[in-house]
Structure 1
C-alpha cells in the first residue's frame, strides 16, 4: 500500500442558529471548495452578543485531507485545482515561462 500523504487547511464559518450549525456550514463550504475533508478540529468557537442575546456563532476549523494513493490524488479537487488539468497557450505562470 502506498504511503498516505495529507494536507490541512483552516477555515472559519458562522451561523445565527448554533455552534453545531456553524460547523456544518463550514464543512459544506469546505466540501464545495476543496473536497470532502477526512477530519476536523475546532480551533475556536465564539459567539457575538447584542442586547443580551447571542446574535451569531463563529467557529474556526482545522480540516484534514488524506491522500491514500496516486489515484485518489488525481481525483482530488484541491490537487486538480492547484496543478491545473489543462494548460492554456499564452497563459503561463512566471516560472513556467522561464522553463
Structure 2
C-alpha cells in the first residue's frame, strides 16, 4: 500500500465509521471517537482485503472495497457495542 493509499484510507475511515454506525440497528453506547477509530481500522483492513482479492484497482469508484469497509465497520461497532453492554450489567 502506498502512502497516498494510507492517507486516503484514514480520511475514508472517518466516513466509514459513521456509515458503519448507521448500518447497525439500535442504539450504540460507544463514543464518537471510538466509532471513528473503528472506521479507520475498517478502512485499512478493507483496503488490504480488497487488494488481496484483486478488486481494489478498478476504474471509477471501488464499490466492492467500500462495501467491505462499511461492513467491517459495522461488525466492529456491533462488537464494541455488545462488549460495552456486558460491562454495564
Q: Same fold (TM over 0.5)?
A: no
* Structure with max Cα Rg: 1
What is the TM-score when the length of structure 1 is the normalising length? Answer: 0.31
Q: Which has the higher strand share?
A: 1
For normalisation by structure 2, the TM-score amounts to 0.33
Specify which structure has the bigger relative contact order, considering alpha-carbon pairs within 8 angstroms and separated by 6 or more residues: 2
